[in-house]
Amino acid sequence: MNRIRLSLPRGQWATYRHQDLVHDAIVNALIAAGAKPEQVIGAGAEPWTFAALGYHRAHEGQVHGLVIATPSAALAPCLAALDPSAVRYARAATGELLDFSAADLSIEPPPVCDDPGMLGVLTLSPLAISEPGTNKKRWLTRLDQVDLSAVANTRLSRIAGRPVALSVLPDSLYLRANPKHSVLVSTKRMRNGRAAFVIALQAPLVLSGSREDLLLAWYAGLGEKTRNGFGCLGLADEGVGR
């Protein structure tokens, strides 16, 4: 397990329009740090997740930091060896350049929690959860439409190779105050020139269970498409940072 944060100097921002640019820049750096391509991309890749910290305005993302995490013993040393200057990716087709070569790298320690314990977390990158039992992928638009514990435990149990039994509940007051808590994330530009989107969900969450299961969720993220920048968690009492 390992988790790092890349922080640009105060006042500096990186810009992107499609989230796959951030993904590709991180993949480029992980491979440069020793990861095999099949460990970071493709159906058989190791579990990892990331969050781009910043804001969106007029369909453009402004990012000042990246959080990258993995529960994988194979990828953990690559995160430790990652060179921020390798987190750089240019794409002529969309006129985009993401450059984190000026960033500082810090290791993020695991959260302190009891065993069993409880964590209040934020979705640093929103959760992607699809509607079960449908042939066509349909993304959920409300957290009260799903048993979040069951969704989280199914995926985390598969990653861990053992039963995971977390309770994952969205903050009730937040849902009442923000019944619309979905966001539209532009993931990539397709060959026909149109953008592909994922509808994802943002809300504070309360996780409870064994310390082992809590740490697994902290490093692996929750929900679907975590390797594409969804489901990365942060501590609620620490906020986003910067």
Query: Is the confidence at residue 193, as pLDDT, over 80?
Result: no
**Predicted confidence band at 225 (pLDDT cuts at 50, 70, 90)?**
very high
Report the pLDDT value the prediction gives residue 56, as an integer from 0 to 100. Answer: 84
Report the pLDDT value the prediction gives residue 78, as an integer from 0 to 100. Answer: 96
Dist CA 104 CA 63 (whole Å): 14
**Predicted confidence band at 196 (pLDDT cuts at 50, 70, 90)?**
confident
**Predicted confidence band at 142 (pLDDT cuts at 50, 70, 90)?**
very high
Query: Which residue pairs, CB below 8 angstroms and at least 24 apart, start in 82-86?
Result: 82/4, 82/29, 82/30, 82/32, 82/33, 83/29, 83/32, 83/33, 84/6, 84/29, 86/28, 86/29, 86/32, 86/33
Strand-pairing partners, residue 96, are: 91
Query: Is the confidence at residue 83, as pLDDT, over 80?
Result: yes
Phi, psi of 56, rounded to the nearest 5 degrees: -120, 140
Average pLDDT of every residue of the chain: 93
Report the pLDDT value the prediction gives residue 195, as an integer from 0 to 100. Answer: 81
Dist CA 219 CA 45 (whole Å): 15
Q: State mean pLDDT over 102-127.
A: 95
**Which pTM does this prediction carry?**
0.94
**Predicted confidence band at 241 (pLDDT cuts at 50, 70, 90)?**
low
Q: State mean pLDDT over 193-216.
A: 94
Domains of the chain: 2-107 (3.30.70), 117-235 (3.30.70.1900)
Report the pLDDT value the prediction gives residue 232, as an integer from 0 to 100. Answer: 97
